[in-house]
Structure 1
């Protein structure tokens, strides 16, 4: 499902402060696998996650998602690709605090040609899966960290994307909410999602559904 070939990401290329964030990454993630990218801060895992999502472009190399080459997609096409294929949950959630839960989850559907009833069905389904439907009318600014994460998960699920990407999903959570996230992984497994998680948190060692762990250091797979 996801194939990465000879991938490099170099910031400030050919300048004095050039930085090689990713170096010769070759990786294959199969459909319905739940994969951990593990490494300390600066190891390159978040950059790799961002490139898989097409939020960033690699300096060189190729990335293939569902037989589609995405490394050089123009920005507009990359946006359509993400909307269709990728559910991304950021470390800080990236929710719109002035909107309520329902409105936040609805935002990815705005670009789709759906009527009000179709949007409502999709949003409520995603909220139910993320176990946050009871807060649908609450302003995001009033939610706890764990609740905000569940809203972000619902937003990632609302377009029926088969690939879910999580950047440090437990970094801003206490232990109880981190354990609840592990429970959510089992739901993603049951739904047949492919999941990639960038993390340095050892709590994931408790999960029964992790398919494999990929360790990163200094922009390389180790």
Structure 2
């Protein structure tokens, strides 16, 4: 089943009279259960593509579908609802609220999603336990290591049970040991059937997942489908 599909997506920015083509005819599909790594150097168009995949920006031309619904032409309010319910975000800098506990941070997107309180707390606890933080639920971000904060961010990304997880340089702020542990969690989630998309500039990340999308100068350079993803 198709989770997300991009068809001939172009993104053009106008700087005075100059047109900057950030994305050029991007077409690919994210299927249920995929673990996709999108890799490219700085300036390749990764950040712009991340914005499109996360429904944080709209293409200049082309179509974006989530579960067969065209989303790029949706009104802002409807698009925000789709973004909250269908996409789980994991950021390089964690983006946790420092005054909230781990549990409360995970609950936050469910509040916006109108999940009832009892279900919200139950789900938040389950996902924190899944990422190995069952004994850190009441700790605030400042009381957690970087790797633990990223685990909270993963649990938060899972909270609304999205169609897919979108991770932006998820190991970029971590030491190598913590980064490896995060990738092991990603593999565990994928083995459970979760769909993941990781955007990175790090070519060593090409070894994970089942598909590698290489982007250069705003265009797809290649798509590699692997028989078996690994960490």
Short-chain TM bin: over 0.9
SS at match of 1:21: strand
> Once the 2 structures are TM-superposed, how far is the Cα of residue 203 of structure 1 from its aligned partner?
3.7
> What residue number does 1:9 align with?
11
Query: What runs of 5+ residues in structure 2 fail to find an aligned partner?
Result: 222-231
Q: Tell me how far apart the structure 2 counterparts of residues 8 and 131 of structure 1 sit (CA, whole Å).
A: 40
> What residue number does 1:215 align with?
214
TM-score under structure 2 length normalisation: 0.89
Q: Tell me how far apart the structure 2 counterparts of residues 50 and 21 of structure 1 sit (CA, whole Å).
A: 12
> What residue number does 1:91 align with?
92
Q: Does 1:164 align with 2:161?
A: no
SS at match of 2:112: coil
- For the 8 Å contact 1:166–1:197, the answer to whether it is kept is yes
> Once the 2 structures are TM-superposed, how far is the Cα of residue 7 of structure 1 from its aligned partner?
0.5
SS at match of 1:32: coil
TM-score under structure 1 length normalisation: 0.92
Query: What runs of 5+ residues in structure 1 fail to find an aligned partner?
Result: none
Cα offsets for 1:86-145 (capped at 9, x unmatched): 101112121111211111111101123333211111111111122222211111123221
Mark the CA change 1:114 to 1:182 in structure 2 (over 3 Å): closer, same or farther.
closer
- For the 8 Å contact 2:85–2:113, the answer to whether it is kept is no
Q: Tell me how far apart the structure 2 counterparts of residues 49 and 164 of structure 1 sit (CA, whole Å).
A: 12
> What residue number does 1:37 align with?
38
SS at match of 1:156: helix
The alignment of Structure 1 onto Structure 2 pairs a total of residues equal to 219
- For the 8 Å contact 2:39–2:206, the answer to whether it is kept is no
Q: Does 1:69 align with 2:67?
A: no
Q: Tell me how far apart the structure 2 counterparts of residues 142 and 102 of structure 1 sit (CA, whole Å).
A: 13
> What residue number does 1:188 align with?
189
